[in-house]
Amino acid sequence: MLMLTFASTSSDLLPMSNVFDVQSSVFYNEKNMFYSSSQDFSSCEDSSQFADDSGFFDDSEISSIGYEIGSKLAAMCDDFDAQMMSYSAHASDRSLFHRLLDFFAF
Amino acid sequence: MTRCTADNSLTNPAYRRRTMATGEMKEFLGIKGTEPTDFGINSDAQDLPSPSRQASTRRMSIGESIDGKINDWEEPRLDIEGFVVDYFTHRIRQNGMEWFGAPGLPCGVQPEHEMMRVMGTIFEKKHAENFETFCEQLLAVPRISFSLYQDVVRTVGNAQTDQCPMSYGRLIGLISFGGFVAAKMMESVELQGQVRNLFVYTSLFIKTRIRNNWKEHNRSWDDFMTLGKQMKEDYERAEAEKVGRRKQNRRWSMIGAGVTAGAIGIVGVVVCGRMMFSLK
């Protein structure tokens, strides 16, 4: 069975048991060749290998940067959603208002 | 061009095989009928669905639902992969580049895709500065960019909320941010190859959460379109007002400049007249 994993930030891949039951690295190498089958797994670099020898950040720093950006982005998304959902709240009286406008438009 | 009418396409198995977005994506992702059951949703072991619940929830194939009526997010023309690839391509093109090798859209660009472009653009314009800062941090070290991106997406998806965990806001924000990062990645030879990883990861992440949450939270692409249209109208009206105000301000400042110049001219004439009169 083909296996599909999205490598995590830390050097250890996402724990096998609680991620999902499909494991294969879905990455491209330099020759832009897409490797998904497990036989070619060994020849395909995945980002966790990148992360290991990055030398710039250690794992906790990587996660904290990602977490920080993600938290801010989540707040932005939730504000946007609140604004969008506000349209459903006054959608009914909006159409009433438009009907009123149309009535007086002549 | 594959005709993507909602009524016969779903019952016609031949159509399903021709549907690139579903068939090729499964082949592409090596998923042979077993869909990811938990896409990092429950990072702790105890949140895992208990074996008994897992066994009882038989996996429904695409297009099938309990009451026979299918959810619109299960229609092949509205596969999330289509939204992501359309928006990424659109955003990359805005930077004057082309994503060669981008997966095709078997049903072509849908109205919902176009609405996602509008919503994604509005989202990005609202947070342009933040996007630039986030992207700089993300791409600072190319080797770990994709890992960081995964962390960002997972943090957004798992952030606490009393609303739908994959709300329209989060859906639009993830696709908008993903498109922005993809466009920036295209500018670097070293990172161009990661755009497809972004596409695959973003699509799968969102797809799993839509399937797990939208029904319970009454979300649908139909509702997305209704709200999106109103938001788009309001946004365009606000933009038109802004442009109108700017024009008005410019007009008033030109009038002001004209009056000032006129006044200076008059004063000058009076002063010259006085001087000539006193010389006589």
Per-residue model confidence as pLDDT tens digits over B33-86: 444 444 444 444 344 444 444 444 555 555 445 556 788 999 999 999 999 999
Mean pLDDT of B214-241: 93
Predicted interface score ipTM higher than 0.85: no
Which residues of chain A lie closer than 8 angstroms to B196, CB-CB? 28, 34
Is B42–A18 a contact, with Cβ atoms under 8 angstroms apart?
Answer: yes
Nearest CB to B173 within list A21, A37, A73:
A73
Instruction: Report how far residue B83's alpha carbon sits from residue B112's, in angstroms, rounded to the nearest whole number.
Output: 8
- Expressed in angstroms, the distance from the first to the final Cα of chain A is 69
For the segment B9-17, the average pLDDT, to the nearest whole number, is 47
Cβ–Cβ under 8 Å, residues B186 and B96: no
pLDDT of residue B247: 84
Does the pLDDT value for residue B147 go beyond 70?
yes
Domains in chain B: boundaries = 73-240
pLDDT value at position A105? 63
| Separation CA B80–CA B78 (nearest Å) | 6
What are the residue ranges spanned by the domains of chain A?
Answer: 61-87
Which candidate in B35, B59, B143, B160 is best for mutational testing of the A interface (most A CBs within 10 A)?
B143
Q: Per mean pLDDT, which range of A78-87, B40-49, B114-123 is the poorest?
A: B40-49
Query: Which of chain B's residues have a Cβ under 8 Å away from the Cβ of A62?
Result: 144, 147-148, 151
pLDDT in tens, A4-41: 444 444 443 333 333 333 333 444 444 443 333 333 32
Contact B167 A78 (CB under 8 A): yes
> CA–CA separation, A82 vs A89, rounded Å?
10
Average confidence score pLDDT of chain B: 81
Do A4 and B172 count as a contact with CB atoms less than 8 A apart? no
Question: Is the pTM above the cut of 0.90?
Answer: no
Chain A and chain B share a number of CB contacts under 8 A equal to 190
Of B29, B74, B231, the closest CA to residue A37 belongs to B29
- Provide Rg for chain A, Cα atoms: 24
Fold (CATH) for B73-240: Apoptosis Regulator Bcl-x (1.10.437)
Give B104's contacts (C-beta < 8 A, 6+ positions apart).
B20
What lies within 8 Å, CB to CB, of A76 at 6+ separation is: B123, B126, B127, B130, B173
Q: What is the mean pLDDT of residues A51-56?
A: 47
What is the rounded distance in angstroms from the CA atom of residue B77 to the CA atom of residue B89?
Answer: 17
